[in-house]
Amino acid sequence: MGGRTRVLRNPIAFVSGLVFGCFVILTLTTMLRLPDPTTRATTHHSNNHNKLLIGKFGEMMMEMLPEDLAFTVFLPSEKAFKRDLRLDPSDSFMGEKMNDTYAVVSRVLGFSAVPRSIVSETVAFGKEMSYDSISGFVLHISKDEDGRLVVNGVRSERVDLRRKGSVIHVMDGVLMDAEFRQSVQYDGEED
């Protein structure tokens, strides 16, 4: 007991003990490092928890968001980018097309991102939640009978993916307002 009070009265011994304790905790934490839970992905078609693959356009969208803020992104799948916006990863990043691709993808991000975390568990079946995206576009979020998220009529392919503190739901379509939809439609296409 006498040695303990001597250490507490001696500031150098106290600080040294505190630094040593922090060093031990830090060493044990790094040695026992657990897998990063942010790389977990869930799908409705399998329970495979492989590393998140969101495609080139998805990576481009996520790079546009700040890392230190939480967002929910209703990210179009690569198939949806190709089908709905005519963007193909094999040629959309080449030369002059890069600027157009960046403009379209950044606009889609504005329609698809909500500045808060929304995980699928918080959406109750039969209830609709409404949030404004960062562009002010209203997103109506619900859950269908299969347990998939439905946002403005677009169904999810994968939900609750995590990247950079954000929640990503991969969608089978592109969320956009009517004006933008009209601007990206091509001649001969019907609504």
Residues 93-107: tens digit of each pLDDT: 677 777 788 888 999
Ramachandran angles phi, psi of 21, nearest 5°: -60, -45
Q: Which residues contact 17 (CB under 8 A, 6 or more apart)?
A: 7
Contact 189, 183 (CB under 8 A): no
User: For 114-171, how does the pLDDT look when each residue is reduced to its tens digit (9 = 90+)?
Assistant: 999 999 999 998 899 999 999 999 999 999 888 899 999 999 999 999 887 899 999 9
Query: Given this model, what pLDDT does residue 34 score?
Result: 47
**How many other C-beta atoms are found inside a 10 Å radius of the C-beta of residue 28?**
9
Cβ atoms 116, 72 nearer than 8 A = yes
Rg of the chain (C-alpha set): 23
Please check the confidence at residue 88 and state whether its pLDDT lies above 90. Answer: no
DSSP three-state, residue 178: helix
CATH fold of 41-184 reads FAS1 domain (2.30.180)
Question: What does the domain layout of the chain look like in residue ranges?
Answer: 2-31, 41-184
- Output the furthest CA–CA distance in the chain (Å, rounded): 90
